Structure 1
Amino acid sequence: MTLDTWSDEIDHDEQPRERRRWPLVVGASLLALVAAYVAAAFLLGDRVPRGTTVAGVAVGGQDAATARATLARALGGASAEPIVLTSPAGEVAMSPEELGVGIDVDETVAGLVGFSLAPVDLWHHLAGGSDEPAAVTVDEDAFGAALEDARGELDAEPVEGSLSLEGGTATLTEPRTGTTTDVEGTVAAVRRWWPAEGTVEVAAASVEPKVSADELRRVKAEFADVAVSAPVTVTAGETSFTLEPKAFVPAIVLEADESGTIVPRADEKKLAEVVRAAARKADAEVEAKDAVVTFSGRTPTVKAHVPGVALDDASLQAQVWKAISTPTRTATVATKKVEPGFTTAAAKATLPKEKISSFTTYYKPGQARVRNIKLASRVLDGTYIPPGEQFSMNAVLGERTAGKGYVEAGIIRNGRAAESVGGGISQVSTTIFNAAFFAGVQLDAWTPHYYYISRYPEGREATISWPDLHNKFTNTTDGGILMQVAATDTSITVSFWGTKKYDVTATKSDRYDVVQPKRYTDDDPDCINQSPVVGFKVDVGRILKQGGKVVKTEKFTTNYRPEDDVTCTNAR
């Protein structure tokens, strides 16, 4: 073996030995580093990362016990201060106790310290912490109840806007968004910001109005500004007239549908009223006039009816609305001829043919009341009631006044005899009532006297007074009724001439519920002596027949109060 050969063999044996040593070195180094890392984690785990603050209180670098003491001392007073909750609608201050919130110092510190091998935690210890929130405890039931009680200050309903056309001017009022407080979100906000902040903004959801501001602006620009821009000129036949915006805007409806969209439309009834009023004023629409029947004695004269002119409803609505809605501002409305309800032909066909009823009542001559009876009879005589029309005695006579020739005479006032201008015409009313009763017409309104008066048929009579006591009936026969009223010094007779429709029979019960009068002495100078008359009830009926067959029966009860025995000691 040569020296070179030996040397080569030595080098070949040393190289594998060196390669086996380096893993041991690396492993030892890693173990050392891990040991150092773990040791650092142990050393730093019981301390709050440097630079850390909790709700603004510096606790960085402090061990757990020191940090707890620091936080307890610094945050202890927060539970005594009110928490102000704010929202877009308002604010409310409540104590932490009312809200059911508190600060858990132990939990707060526990979240900042503790052994951890996480690199990020070790980095925080070395590089420094941040401002952290305190651990806040929340009694969610108490918090929710307190927040519900505070909704009056924190929540707000949305306020709808409006588009007004009043006075012919388009005015837009912007809507306002409402707000409603979210409980869970507000709990999270309190956990995040309290006690570092004494004022916490609640979590709130916006509540939008039904109609958006954009929709109101659209309708104003596209419709409202156009609608009130100028008067509308309406042509009907040969006549034209104008409608000012302030006149027709009450007929415009700007209501939103469920989606909040406004589709302008017309209130058809109001629009027709506005247009027709202007048309009548301009004689573009003329009311038809009924035929008029007058009498000289029993001889009739028929004044022919006059046809009217009316705007066509469909044309009115379509054309006028189009003119309101567009810049054209003109409308041509069709017209039509209108016949009255009582035409000349109807008047002639329904002229009275025969006497259908008559009734007479009596009185003593020479009394002041006789003058009133005769005067009222002259006014009522010749009154004609077309078929289907209503007669009203007060409407024909009007108020009874001295200026019309009426004088003071006896009346019944509050159950006592008295005097008044026009007294006595209740006898005219009662006589008319009985003529109407036996004519078979529809009896609409009548009032019996307060107590029974022997000159009238028992149960069938009607007093009258201006303006509240009426005698009214409707002519339900097949022809017109001529009322003839004739008064003498001792009697009044009312006859109805027309077309007989019914044979009428009256019925009457015996008196019942009899009440005896009382006796009074009265020293009032306006007192009038009264003779006693018993009070009672009586049932009155009416049987209506056609061709011998009963077609209708009616019954009503008349209640008479007693006429008390009054002796006047100081009468005038």
Structure 2
Amino acid sequence: MKDSGSAALRLGIAVAVLLAGYLGLAWFLGRHIPSNSTVAGVPVGGMSPQRAEDTLRRALASRETAKVTLQAGDKTFQLDPRAAGLSIDYAGTVDGLSGFSLNPGDVWDNLSGGSDEELETTVDRDKLVSALKGAGATLDTAVVQGSVTFPGGKVKAVKPVEGSTMSVDGTADEVAARWPSTTPIAPRVDKVPPAVTAQEVDRAVAEFATPAVSSPVTVKVGAKSFAVQPASFAPALSMKADGSGKLAPSVDNAKLVAAVRKSASAAGLEEKPRDAKITFKGNKPVVVPSAAGATLDEKSVVATFVPALTSPDRTATVTTAVVQPKLTTAAAEKIKPREVVSTFTTYFPYNPPRTENITIAARTLNGTYVGPGEQFSLNKVLGQRTAAKGYNPAPVINNGRLTTDYGGGISQLSTTTFNAAFFSGVKIDEYLAHSFYISRYPEGREATISWPDVDQKWTNDTGYGILIQSFVSNGSVTVTFHGTKVWDIEAVKGPRRNIVQPRTIVDDKPGCVTQTPSTGFDVTVSRIFKKAGKTVRTSTFSTHYIPEDKVTCTHPDAN
């Protein structure tokens, strides 16, 4: 009995030890991850949950922050996972990989088992959707609409191609399911069908486009006719989708009419109207009569030309319309100048090149008409003074010294014109006096000119047209304004002020031009506007002249 009891005791102790060992093993294994476990390819077997979490954070840090690539064909777009609200839930991933169990199968799995587990992620849906909204501009594929055009008078057909637009919500689902994938993620897209089919493009080409530009269109105008080539009228043609999936012909009426009129002009069947012109016959203003023109009627062109594009005889019969000039003879007679408004003459010394320049400029200015409210620009009327226009090198002032340039001397005409404008009462807009005083001009009432910056401008605010007459005769130039006299103008010059004496300069350069000295000074001229002998208003013109230095030239080639 004693031996039997001892054996039972020993057995009980052994069972207790085994049970305690089993419990200890189960407890230990329950606090660790199964030995062969991996997460997203990262080994975590046998680790405690905290150690496994730390291991995953280190191993997947670069993967968690790597850009997410969306790829549609050859187009890519990258997302910043943090900005897109994507993150890895490390604690959630590790949770559940370990746990206490007395089940022998579980204990055995913890001891020798394990598998590759997926990562748990968290997604801020609002941030992800917001980040994806900018991807469409990169990943969308534009639909290619079927079209028919007519470059150079030839038919060009473009077959339609389906497009696609990225679905933001669908792509968000795809990213949430795939991230943190290391391979590009294909966005979900919605197909965009073209407005017309390839079959419709073929039909439009066969039924309209090809016949339309197959040959010239003949245009009949009365007993005459002319041809309009496809290359001429094709730019006015196009084909547009009509909303029902059909391509319909479209015509730019303005371009079509312009093309037909151009061909008509080349054939001598259109004539532009000629405005009446106010000019001189001797010293008397006369009107050169206007003439009406003829042009193809726009409505007639559009109504008959388009049907002719697909008709068997390809012929359009159009009518003409009379085009009146902008300024008729009757209107010109009404505004023709009736009297001399102002006239002014200046005199110049003998200098053939300079005189020829003044003569050319006066001839160009002569006959210029300035309508009511129009601004006159002397530079605009004369243009650049060049040798090709017959101008010669002659003296000009540059930085207070005389030199030579083409057109030198036409400041004489500018000053004369300025004084005619001054005494006509027009509004003086822009002028510049010579830098030093020239004795043949009135003090404070003179104007230089230089291309293109120094100009003389005035606005005809008299309410009537002004016709300018200018000519050179016997060492003088005269400018006369013909129109309707509105003002009696009186000029009153004040005394010279702030007088400055000239210097003496000796110059040995070959381009030197001698100068006779004169003092510099300031002067003010009053312009008094009168009607019926009574002063209405007064304006003033102040001028500053620098002294003209005495220049002696010592070089043998100097002027």
Return the TM-score normalized by structure 2: 0.65
The one-letter code matched in structure 2 to 1:75 is G
How far apart are the structure 2 equivalents of 1:346 and 1:226? 50
How far apart are the structure 2 equivalents of 1:329 and 1:273? 19
Whether the aligned pair in 2 keeps the contact of 1:163 and 1:170 (CA below 8 Å) is yes
How far apart are the structure 2 equivalents of 1:326 and 1:64? 93
| Offset at residue 309 of structure 1 (A) | 0.8
| Offset at residue 194 of structure 1 (A) | 6.6
Partner of 1:409: 394
The reply to whether residue 76 of structure 1 matches residue 63 of structure 2 is no
Structure 1 pair 213/458, CA: closer, same or farther in 2 (3 Å)? Answer: farther
How far apart are the structure 2 equivalents of 1:335 and 1:109? 95
How far apart are the structure 1 equivalents of 2:186 and 2:496? 79
Whether the aligned pair in 2 keeps the contact of 1:368 and 1:409 (CA below 8 Å) is no
Structure 1 pair 504/269, CA: closer, same or farther in 2 (3 Å)? Answer: farther
Structure 1 pair 396/96, CA: closer, same or farther in 2 (3 Å)? Answer: closer
Partner of 1:371: 355
How far apart are the structure 1 equivalents of 2:140 and 2:252? 33
Gaps of 5+ in 1: 1-62, 116-130
Q: Deviations over 1:324-370 (max 9, x none)?
A: 6878744333212233334444455555543221112233x334466
Larger radius of gyration: 1
SS in 1 for 2:363: helix
How far apart are the structure 2 equivalents of 1:259 and 1:440? 68
1:276 to 253, 261, 267: 261
The one-letter code matched in structure 2 to 1:410 is P
How far apart are the structure 2 equivalents of 1:262 and 1:64? 75
Whether the aligned pair in 2 keeps the contact of 1:108 and 1:134 (CA below 8 Å) is no
Partner of 2:135: 151
1:309 to 291, 294, 310: 294
Structure 1 pair 542/385, CA: closer, same or farther in 2 (3 Å)? Answer: farther
Counterparts of residues 56-455 of structure 1 (less than 5 Å): 69-72=35-38, 75-76=41-42, 79=60, 85-88=70-73, 90-91=75-76, 99-101=86-88, 105=93, 134=118, 136-140=120-124, 144=128, 148=132, 151=135, 155-156=139-140, 158=142, 161=145, 164-173=149-158, 174=160, 177-180=163-166, 182=168, 184-186=169-171, 188-189=173-174, 192=177, 199=183, 201-206=185-190, 208=192, 217=201, 221=205, 224-225=209-210, 227-252=212-237, 265-291=250-276, 295-298=280-283, 303-321=288-306, 323=308, 329-347=314-332, 352-363=337-348, 365-368=349-352, 371-372=355-356, 375-376=359-360, 379=363, 383=367, 385=369, 400=385, 406-440=391-425, 447-455=432-440
SS in 2 for 1:502: coil
| Offset at residue 372 of structure 1 (A) | 2.8
How far apart are the structure 1 equivalents of 2:491 and 2:384? 34
Structure 1 pair 386/402, CA: closer, same or farther in 2 (3 Å)? Answer: closer
Q: Deviations over 1:355-392 (max 9, x none)?
A: 221112233x3344662366337735863638568876
Partner of 1:122: none
| Offset at residue 500 of structure 1 (A) | 2.1
Whether the aligned pair in 2 keeps the contact of 1:158 and 1:209 (CA below 8 Å) is no
State the aligned residue count: 485
| Offset at residue 154 of structure 1 (A) | 6.4
SS in 1 for 2:446: coil
The reply to whether residue 463 of structure 1 matches residue 448 of structure 2 is yes
SS in 1 for 2:41: helix
RMSD: 5.4
How far apart are the structure 1 equivalents of 2:165 and 2:437? 73
Whether the aligned pair in 1 keeps the contact of 2:506 and 2:553 (CA below 8 Å) is yes
How far apart are the structure 2 equivalents of 1:508 and 1:426? 23
| Offset at residue 286 of structure 1 (A) | 0.2
Q: Deviations over 1:487-541 (max 9, x none)?
A: 323x333233x44241242567979997979967755432335546547686875
Whether the aligned pair in 2 keeps the contact of 1:254 and 1:262 (CA below 8 Å) is yes
Structure 1 pair 341/217, CA: closer, same or farther in 2 (3 Å)? Answer: same
SS in 2 for 1:360: strand
Whether the aligned pair in 2 keeps the contact of 1:373 and 1:427 (CA below 8 Å) is no
Structure 1 pair 233/453, CA: closer, same or farther in 2 (3 Å)? Answer: farther
How far apart are the structure 1 equivalents of 2:296 and 2:377? 32
Partner of 1:483: 469
SS in 2 for 1:276: helix
| Offset at residue 210 of structure 1 (A) | 8.6
SS in 2 for 1:418: strand
Whether the aligned pair in 2 keeps the contact of 1:89 and 1:155 (CA below 8 Å) is no
Structure 1 pair 425/227, CA: closer, same or farther in 2 (3 Å)? Answer: same
How far apart are the structure 1 equivalents of 2:41 and 2:190? 34
